[in-house]
Amino acid sequence: MEARKERLSSLDILRGLDLFLLLVAGPVIHTFLRINSSPVWDGVRHQVSHVSWEGFVLWDIIMPLFMFMSGATIPFSMARYREWEKPGKAFLLKLLKRFCLLFFLGWIVQGNLLHFDFKLFHPFANTLQAIAVGYVFAALAFVYLGKRGSWIFGFICFAAYIVVFMVVGKMNLDPQSNVAMLVDKAVLGCHRDGVIWNPDGTWAWNEGYQYTWILSSLNFIVTVMLGCYAGTVLKDNSKAKFMRAILLALEGVSLIIFGMALGSWFPVIKKIWSSSMTLYSGGICSLALAAVYLVVDVWGKSKGLNWLKYFGMNSIAAYCIGEVINFSSVSKSLLFGLEKYTGDYYSLVITVANVTILFLIMRLMYKRGIFLKA
């Protein structure tokens, strides 16, 4: 017996929108804002720059949404292991392969692997690695623990993070001395992202680097599991599609309310993946998925949106190509003659050309059926 594979267009389109915002729209907007320092653009500038510590803006949703969407696919890709196929060695090897590949790609993107200099190597410092941790634990919980057990496991991860901050960290939220940061410094040492190496071979902490990864993995897992719960709602064929969208929207509103309430005690801080931020961002992701699912899969209004699948169905390839490869040499070789006519806007011309090359590559891969699967 073989289960029919399901694929919702809304999942691919929303994931594609997330990657398009990061890899195409983002570079263009940032380049434009560097050229134009007018206060007129301060509102846009605020929304496309990560907050310094507490708070949440548009740019802060990109990573949580990427992780959330990876979890939303689990009920579709792993359904057979719950329904009719006993998970065995092949299943575990598949998860291990995904984990290792995502970590390896994360090393290429942000781990400085291609420097071939061990002192610059960062073993845990990238979104793909956060997804690797969250996805593996969420998938194991989904397959082996069932619906109720998954909820309990997710709650344990969520509660454990809070307990560590309360008991060990004494609710210290200083960017450089909170317990999540101290764990990273102790475990990763000189290989923590943001470390400054001096010419004499000594190193020091970069006080401006505030992201944490190891303890924050507890809430990375929760974020992916929230996506998994959302995917379970969308896969529930016992309910009408419109009702699934409503339930997902209600879940999103509830998470936002709980996140804001918790934020009065434990603030929304993305850089340490605080508990309130986990709920708040999960709520936004749920609402976004509900909206896209309603439009695309319930109302069937996908016209003008399907091109986002170029990125959404090949998200890992898009992320790695967009973050690793600099197309400026190609763009400048072809468009250098425009510099004298465009002045300060020449950098914007090059950026537009760069992202256009990326877009064409992703379109070609989609048309040829070339997809990077982890």
Please report the pLDDT score of residue 2 as a whole number. Answer: 42
How many other CB atoms are there within 10 angstroms of residue 262's CB atom?
Answer: 19
Query: DSSP assignment, residue 211?
Result: -
- 347: CB partners within 8 A, 6+ apart: 31, 34, 35
Contact 52, 103 (CB under 8 A): no
Query: DSSP assignment, residue 237?
Result: T
374 belongs to a structural domain: no
252 belongs to a structural domain: yes
The Cα 285–Cα 263 span in angstroms is 18
247 belongs to a structural domain: yes
Please report the pLDDT score of residue 81 as a whole number. Answer: 86
Contact 181, 175 (CB under 8 A): yes
2 belongs to a structural domain: no
Please report the pLDDT score of residue 88 as a whole number. Answer: 86
221 belongs to a structural domain: yes
Helix, strand, or coil (residue 138): helix
- Measured in residues, the chain has a length of 374
**320 closest CA partner among 128, 155, 174:** 128
Q: In the block, which residue shows the tokens 């994360």?
A: 106
- What pTM did the predictor assign? 0.94
217 belongs to a structural domain: yes
373 belongs to a structural domain: no
* Average pLDDT, consecutive stretches of 10 residues, N- to C-terminus, the chain (374 residues): 64 96 96 92 93 95 97 92 84 94 95 92 96 97 92 97 96 96 96 92 92 98 97 93 96 97 97 98 98 96 94 95 94 94 95 97 95 81
Cα-based distances in Å from 102 to 45, 67, 105, 279: 31, 12, 5, 25
Structure tokens belonging to residue 10: 């809304």
Cα-based distances in Å from 34 to 22, 26, 27, 28: 17, 12, 11, 10
111 belongs to a structural domain: yes
How many other CB atoms are there within 10 angstroms of residue 210's CB atom?
Answer: 20
**156 closest CA partner among 225, 106, 81:** 225
The Cα 340–Cα 353 span in angstroms is 17
Q: Domain count for the chain, please give it.
A: 1
Contact 235, 79 (CB under 8 A): yes
Structure tokens belonging to residue 196: 């400054």
Please report the pLDDT score of residue 294 as a whole number. Answer: 97
The Cα 20–Cα 285 span in angstroms is 16
Domain that holds residue 312: 9-368
The Cα 308–Cα 21 span in angstroms is 10
The Cα 241–Cα 69 span in angstroms is 19
